[in-house]
Amino acid sequence: MKITVTINEQAFDNVAAWRIIGEILNKPKAVIGLSTGQTTHNMHVLISRIYQENPFDISQTTFFGVDEVTNVPREYKGACYTMLKDQLIDTLGVKDNYFIMPPTLSDDFTKECKLFQDQLKERGGIDLQVLGLGTNGHLGFNQPRTPFERETWLSKMDEVLEARIRKETNTPDNKELGGITLGIRNIMQARKILLVAKGKSKAEIVQKMLEGPITTDVPASILQLHPNCEFLLDQEAASLLSIEH
């Protein structure tokens, strides 16, 4: 396991941004999985800024998001598609066929899950997957007790996120919300993973993820078994670890 602890948030964003840019520079045809949320927002904006100042070739790089909210308009500002476009994809000028996202609306999500997964396979599989970490240990929308062998599927969100999205989109309680997510198996098949977590609110789950047992109760604990996963933390997120890193 490679654990990197940065001295502050700025360094955290900087390291993450350069890990992603480095992957693109090393392998222009790379397939790069992104993740949305508060943790990744600034690193995306930083990549955009670096690109504007010193453009690099992204014309053959495929980008995708690890998950997507379902049953909301794609233009909703909390949809992963729109967040990634606003933070990064549009600034980089990524062409539509190099940005792969499941739709937010569909009458056959099972088909969409398979299509999403197949498209990534056709591009040669995932080179680098960036992952945020839920405070309950979720990866993408794989909530606690999701079987480790699960492939891309339509899952539930955690209650806090669901309540926020319902409010922001005026979605009534009788209309189901969910999330398409790469399954744990797909995530574990990525050649490289960058797990990012910052802030005090993540300290407890970071400790469980890295020093606790590997269990579906903490989906992210499976990453202990990935041969090429870097855990990028700030000092607050790393504060409950018992070993000096």
Minimum CB separation of residue 61 from ligand GLP in Å reads 20
66 binds ligand GLP (CB under 6 A): yes
What single letter denotes the amino acid at residue 165? Answer: I
Number of residues binding to ligand GLP, judged by CB under 6 A: 12
Minimum CB separation of residue 134 from ligand GLP in Å reads 5
Q: Which is nearer to ligand GLP, 38 or 110 (CB)?
A: 38
Question: Reduced to 3 states, what is the DSSP secondary structure of residue 98?
Answer: helix
13 binds ligand GLP (CB under 6 A): no
CA separation for the pair 79, 149 (Å, rounded): 26
State how far the alpha carbon of 113 is from the alpha carbons of 101, 119, 154, 179, in Å. 10, 10, 7, 11
219 binds ligand GLP (CB under 6 A): no
Question: Reduced to 3 states, what is the DSSP secondary structure of residue 147?
Answer: coil
CA separation for the pair 211, 200 (Å, rounded): 17
Instruction: Identify the residue among 8, 28, 29, 37 touching ligand GLP (CB under 6 A).
Output: 37
Q: Which is nearer to ligand GLP, 136 or 216 (CB)?
A: 136
What single letter denotes the amino acid at residue 241? Answer: L
Q: Which is nearer to ligand GLP, 122 or 176 (CB)?
A: 176
Instruction: Identify the residue among 161, 210, 222, 238 touching ligand GLP (CB under 6 A).
Output: 161
**What does the block give as tokens for 11?**
């360094």
Query: By CB under 6 A, which span of 31-39, 106-114, 119-127, 148-156 interacts with ligand GLP?
Result: 31-39
Q: Which is nearer to ligand GLP, 32 or 66 (CB)?
A: 66
Positions in 89-118 near ligand GLP (CB under 6 A): none
The CB density around residue 199, as the number of other CB atoms within 10 Å, is 16
CA separation for the pair 203, 195 (Å, rounded): 14
39 binds ligand GLP (CB under 6 A): yes
Element (H, E) at 193: strand 192-197
141 binds ligand GLP (CB under 6 A): yes
* CA 177 to centroid of chain Cα atoms: 19
State how far the alpha carbon of 14 is from the alpha carbons of 43, 53, 236, in Å. 7, 15, 17
**What does the block give as tokens for 67?**
């998950």
Instruction: Identify the residue among 10, 38, 59, 228 touching ligand GLP (CB under 6 A).
Output: 38
165 binds ligand GLP (CB under 6 A): no
81 binds ligand GLP (CB under 6 A): no
Minimum CB separation of residue 133 from ligand GLP in Å reads 6
Element (H, E) at 67: strand 67-70
Interface residue list for ligand GLP (CB under 6 A): 35-39, 66-67, 132, 134, 140-141, 161
